[in-house]
Structure 1
C-alpha cells in the first residue's frame, strides 16, 4: 500500500506539474462550455430575429386577394416584384413564394376550399423561420374567415373549439420544458465523453512518455512492485479525469441556467441513491478505460504512436455513448444493456428518470465488474512482459 501511495503521489505531481495538462484537460472545458452555449444560442436568436425583422416575399397568382392585403399590412414584410421568383428564392434574395389561386376571395365567399401554396428554401434558416411567421398569419386569417361565416349564420364561433388541451408533467411539478428534457437525455453521454477526453493525453504520457524520457526503466528497477506501479498510474488517471468531469459538468450546468428556454432554471432532481449508482457505474467504467489506455500506452514506442492508438481505441466508445441518447429511458431494449458503454448510458438515463430496474442494474453492474477485471488483467499482462515494456 505504501508503494502504491508513493507512485500515486508521484504520478499526480507529474500530471499537475504539466501546465498543458491543466490548461487543456481541466481549465479549458470550464471556459469553453459557457462560451459555446452562449455563442450557439446567441446565433440562433440573432438568426430568428433577423429572419422575422425583414421578410421578402414574391406573390404568384391573385395579387389582389385578402391574403395579399394582410401581407402588405405587416411592417416587416416586403412584397417583391421579381421576374424569376424561383431563382430569387434560390439566391436568397427572397425568403418565400406565395402562390395564391385566382379569384381567391370569390372562391372563399362561395364556400370553396382553396389551396394556397407557400414555397420555401429548405436549405435556408431564414426561409424556414419566415415560413413559420407567415403560416401563423395565414392561420389567423383562416380562423377569422370561419368565425365571420359562423357569426353571419348566428352560430357562436366558439363551437369550433369546444375544449382546450393543456399538456403538463404528470410526474413532477411545473410545466414541461422540451429543451431541458433534451439536455437531460444528453447528460449521460456527456458524462462518458467528458470522462474519457482528459485521459488521452495523460495516458500517452504515463507509459510511452516515460519511455521517451528514459524514466520507465529506473522506475521498474526500484523495490516497488509492478502492481503498485500499474495501480498508481490507473488511479492517478482516474482521479484527474474525475476532477475534470466534475468541473466540466459544473461549468455546463451554470451555463445552461442562462440559455433561452431555460430562464426558470435547469434542475437536476437526483436522489442520493440515483447519484450513488451513477457515480459507481461511472467510476467502474473509468477504471476499465484507464486500464485499457495504460495497455496501449505501455505497448507504444512513443507518445505520437500512443496518441494514434488511443484515438482508435476511444472513438468506438464515444460512438457507443450516443446510441441510447434518443431512446425512451423507460422502454430500452435488453440488447442495449449488454453493449459496452451504451449500457452505462442507458442505465444512467433510467436512474435519472426515476426507474430502478433490478434486472437492468444487475446486468450492467456485472458487465462493468467484468470490464474492470479484464482490463486490469490485460494491463497487468502488458506490464509484466519485458518485450512490451522495453519495446523500442
Structure 2
C-alpha cells in the first residue's frame, strides 16, 4: 500500500468522524458549551460573593453598653472608615434587631470594653450576622465581622498606641519592620520567587492538557469504533485490500486529529472560564510574570520534549482505546470501556503534581517512568533535574508499548473474531 493510499484511508476516517453528529456534539460541542456556561456562572457567583466584602451602605446596629472612649472609636470607625449605615442603641435585644433582616450585622459592646483596652486586657465584642440561607456567600458574611471589621479596628488601635509611644516614627513601620526579597535557584538560574508562583498556572496547564486530551481521545476513538460495530461498517473497511495495520493506524491518526481539534476548543473554553473567575475577583493571573525569567524555566527545550512525549503518550492511548473498544458491539458499550481505559494513566500525573521525582528514589522514579503515557510529565521533570535518564527510559518504554499494542491490534484486526466477538460486559452468566 502506497503512502497516498494510506493518507486517503486516513482522510476517509476523519470525514467519517466529523460526519457522525453524536461524536461532534458529545465530544466536541458539549464540553466547550459547558465550560463557557460554567465561566459565566462562576464569574457571576464570585462577583456576588465579593460584593459582601464591600461594607459601603451596609446596615449595622450597635448595642453599646460601654459608652467609653474606645467604644466610640469603634462606632466611628465602622461609620466613617467603612462607610456603613450605623445605628446605635443604648439597650435592646439582638433578636428584635435581626428578626426582620433590617441589619446585616449587630455588634454588642460590653460595659468593660474601654476599661479593658486602657488597662491592657483583651476586650471582647459580640457579633451577630444575619443570613437567609446556607451558601458560600452566607459563609462569607459570617466571617466578615471578625475578619474585616474587627481586624481592621485592631490594626487602627495598634497604630494609635504606637504613634503615641513613638511620635517621631511612622507607626506603620512596626507592622512590617522586616521585608524579604525572595528568590529561588532552579535549573541553574536565580529567579524571583514571584516568577515561580506566577508559573504555577502554566505548569499545571501543561499537566492538565494531556489528561484532557487522554479523556477526549479515548472517548472519540472508542465512539468511532463503537459506531462502526453498531452500523456494521467495520466489515466493509476490513474487506478492503489493505494491510490491517494500516487500517488501525488510520483510525489512530483520524482520532488524533479530531481529538486535537477538541482539545483546542476545550482549552479555549477553559481559558475563558479562568478569565471570568480572575476578572470577577479582580486578581491578575499573570501576577507580575517576567517573560524573560519564565522562558529560562519553561524553555523551548521543555516545550519540545513535552510535545514529543505527548505524541508518544497519545499514540499509546489511542491504540489501547481502539483495540479495547473493538470488543464492543455499539457506542454505549464502547464508551463504557473507554471510561475505564484512560483513568489509570492519571497515576503519574497526580503523583508528580505533588511529589518531586527525586523524592521517589531510583526504583520509584524508574517505575513511574515506564508507566504508559507518562512521557510528557517525565519530560518536564527531567529538564528541571538536568537528568534525562528517566526521560529516555520513558521514551523507550512507550515505544515498546506502541510496538506491542500495534502487533496485538494488527493480529486482532486480521482475525474474524473482531466481527463476532461479544464484550465481557454484555455476556450472560
Post-superposition shift, 1:263?
6.5
Whether the 8 Å CA contact 1:104–1:114 is kept in 2: the answer is yes
Which deviations, in whole Å up to 9, do the C-alpha atoms of 1:146-202 show, x marking residues without a partner?
2244147x7774673573415555555795595x44423421332123212332442
Quick check: 155-164 or 46-55, which moved more? Answer: 155-164
- Equivalents in 2 of 1:173, 1:156: separation in Å? 29
Cα separation, partners in 2 of 1:251 and 1:167, compared to 1, 3 Å: farther
C-alpha contact 2:183 2:192 (8 A) present in aligned 1: yes
The question of 1:306 aligning with 2:334 is answered: yes
- Cα 1:159/1:13, change in 2 over 3 Å: closer
Q: Counterpart in 2 of 1:248?
A: 266
* CA apart distance, 1:251: 5.2
1:284 aligns with 2:312: yes
Q: Hey, what's the Cα distance between the residues in 2 that align with 1:88 and 1:356?
A: 63
Compute the TM-score of the two structures, normalised by the length of structure 1: 0.78
Query: Aligned partners of 1:224 and 1:330: how far apart in 2?
Result: 44
Match of 1:262 in 2: 284
Structure 2: tracts of 5 or more residues without a match:
185-189, 423-429
2:177 is equivalent to residue 163 of structure 1: yes
Task: Give how far 1:276 is off.
Answer: 0.9
Q: Distance in 2 between matches of 1:199 and 1:8?
A: 16
Question: Using a 3 Å threshold, how does the CA distance of structure 1 residues 226 and 20 change in structure 2: closer, same or farther?
Answer: same
Structure 1: any 5+ residue segments left out of the alignment?
none
Matches of 1:92 and 1:378, distance apart in 2: 70
Q: Does the 8 Å contact 1:204/1:307 carry over to 2? A: yes
Aligned pair 1:347/2:378, yes or no? yes
Q: 1:146 to 1:363 in 2, by over 3 A?
A: farther
Matched residue, 2:147: 132
Evaluate the alpha carbon distance shift between residue 328 and residue 101 of structure 1 in structure 2; reply closer, same or farther with a 3 A threshold: farther
CA drift at 1:346: 4.3
Measured in 2, the distance between the counterparts of 1:236 and 1:194 equals 18
How does 1:159-238 map onto structure 2 within 5 Å? 160=174, 163-167=177-181, 170=184, 171-172=190-191, 180-238=198-256
How far 1:366 moved relative to its partner?
3.8
Aligned partners of 1:324 and 1:345 also within 8 Å: no
Correspondence 1:112 to 2:114: no
Relative distance call for 1:23 and 1:169 in structure 2 (3 A) is farther
What's 2:83 paired with? Answer: 75
Give the corresponding residue for 1:387.
Answer: 417
Is residue 388 of structure 2 the alignment partner of residue 358 of structure 1? yes
Pick closer, same or farther for the CA change 1:387–1:174 going to 2, 3 Å: closer
2:66 and 2:411 map into 1 onto residues whose CA distance is: 81
The match for 2:427 is none
In the other structure, the counterpart of 1:372 is: 402
Aligned length: 386
Q: 1:197 to 1:300 in 2, by over 3 A?
A: same
2:301 aligned partner: 273
Contact 1:30–1:247 (CA<8 Å) still a contact in 2? yes
Helix, strand or coil at the partner of 2:326: helix
When residues 107 and 83 of structure 1 are mapped into structure 2, their CA distance, relative to the original with a 3 A threshold, is: closer
Distance in 1, Cα, partners of 2:392 & 2:154: 53
Superposed CA offset, 1:3-61 (max 9, x none): 53332121011112234434554455556545544542343123111442455657688
User: CA 1:246–1:158 in 2, change beyond 3 Å: closer, same or farther?
Assistant: closer
- Tell me the residue number matched to 1:296: 324
